[in-house]
Structure 1
């Protein structure tokens, strides 16, 4: 009997995601670190941190766990202590990625809506502190997962694979941990990003309406207003990043909530069951969110597109110039 359809899709999906996502994230980090995308240092630091967290999630979740589990079931990565560490770092990197998105959304909210506060908060120093706090919190939030798992089987006295301990379903401490984990990721980020987006968009619309009123109906309206244009760019980038997060996390968010208020256990083994298909589909969309930001930069940021072109055309130009120089020297000799 063949594999369930959802498993066949996953066996193609995760390698494709890794092949596209890892180089894309490396290119994104390299370009943003050069600081030539006409973005403030504050925004750049958030975007670099988000890209690095997404890259970590791709490594630990997609490559070390999903792909390894499907194609290399008895590699050293499935040795139980290493497997437990990978799963803990997987959750930690996911938490960092999610909460950095929240931090970035909040930073843009302060920058656009809170004129007095942004002088103190929207700085490179404040961004560095916020990133450090968020990442530390995400790592601490994920570390307890290391103690959730035990070996699934023992071969020649060697523990292999990971399975959740039975006590984790009944122990009050672990039940409280699962509830706290569900609230912290994804319920609270989901609500926070949605609320901040609504407040930011409302402020931008009202500010633009007031500014157009001040400008009146004179000839200046035929020219672009730099302030309105900056607000528009900020809104596009903010909505693209946080909006994609909401859309790609929605199915996973629904399954999390459903599991907490029903007798259904998360991660079913019947892959023909409709709920399990929804769960696995939501999980695939959630992993996709770690790659989407790179393409958002490319679509919404003109300078980022130009830097990507330069990154790939510059080596070709250097090689061509070198060949021409060598040919010229030969002719001179």
Structure 2
């Protein structure tokens, strides 16, 4: 593994940038936690009620995605990032706690990504495979697929308990955790690292792009054919509900998929860079370290975006969301008015 160095002048400038970036980092993660936890929780409650005009099958996938996103925010932002900045020396910094948090973080992150893939597959089958739709797009099938996916990534992340080791030992007490140096040199761990990144998110990238491309192609062709058939019946003036339904489904699918690909790209670029350049990320210079941290910041943002996407693309979800937000405010107002009287 190589170690990157920089000139003293550049190093001084980058150090100042790193200090400034640390301040931005703190504010950013506080904001993500303050927004991500209530928004994802509210999304889970609203979707679970089944009043958003979505099929029960689709609702299962969206609830699973929101739940996984919420778990990532709790483990990554609250228990890891904010704990690092504000709760130094707490029991969460003990090595066993640190390892468990990392395990839960990576497992929930993997599930979030692959629940997005399963959702994309469900939308593809719903829109493009009418015969398969009746058997595949059911609540039972969704539950089985989500359960299998969760089990696979639970088992896949078990090696984390072996990969990590204490960072320091004080009075026989192990504190913090870090990746063992052998993880970056031993062939077995190199293969595992590649497998880890291929499964999340390289392979999902390919699958999501493939599902999107096939879905968009099918919808465009189907709409062209349907438009030609409708043009032969000029007396029909009412809107084409089937075309409108396909359009809304495609918008939801495309928006969620695009957000995922965009926000995960810096993380993927960083991985490909340190593997191809044979550089240990622990020895990054300040510039690369900042880029790596930006990648993690965008990952954190990706776990807050889906609920906003539902609100933008689904009018019924938006109505339920506004109603849920207004309810506690209205209750407070009624209580204040009652006291005044």
Residue 222 of structure 1, CA deviation: 4.0
Structure with more relative contact order (C-alpha pairs < 8 Å, separation 6 or more): 2
Task: Identify the range of structure 1 (310-319 vs 173-182) with the bigger mean alpha-carbon deviation.
Answer: 310-319
RMSD over aligned CA atoms reads: 2.2
For residue 275 of structure 2, the aligned residue among 260, 275, 283 is 260
Match of 1:287 in 2: 300
**Which shifted more, 13-22 or 259-268?**
259-268
1:297 aligns with 2:310: yes
Q: CA deviation at 1:118?
A: 1.1
Deviation at 1:169, TM superposition (A): 2.1
Cα distance in 2 between the residues matched to 1:74 and 1:325? 47
Change (3 A) 1:19 1:316: closer
Structure 2: any 5+ residue segments left out of the alignment?
1-14
1:74 equivalent in structure 2? 89
2:185 is aligned, of 170, 177, 187, to: 170
- Per-residue deviation at 1:84? 0.8
Deviates more, 1:155-164 or 1:257-266: 257-266
Give the one of 154, 159, 163 matched to 1:148. Answer: 163
Q: What SS class does the counterpart of residue 157 from structure 2 fall into?
A: helix
Write the mapping of 1:111-150 to structure 2, written as runs, cut at 5 A. 111-150=126-165
1:150-178 CA distance string (max 9 Å, x none)? 11111222110111112222222212111
Where does the alignment leave 5 or more consecutive residues of structure 1 unmatched?
A: none
What is the TM-score with the length of structure 1 in the denominator? 0.92
CA contact (8 A) 2:184 2:280 kept: no
Does structure 1 residue 314 correspond to structure 2 residue 327?
yes
Secondary structure (helix, strand or coil) at the match of 2:53 reads coil
310-319 vs 59-68, greater mean Cα deviation: 310-319
- Which 10-residue stretch deviates more, 8-17 or 226-235? 8-17
2:148 alignment partner, SS class:
helix
TM-score (norm 2): 0.90
- The CA distance in 2 between the partners of 1:13 and 1:221, in whole Å, is 53
SS of 1:305's equivalent in the other structure is helix
Secondary structure of residue in 1 paired with 2:29: helix
Q: Write out aligned runs for 1:197-236 (5 A).
A: 197-216=212-231, 218-219=233-234, 222-236=237-251
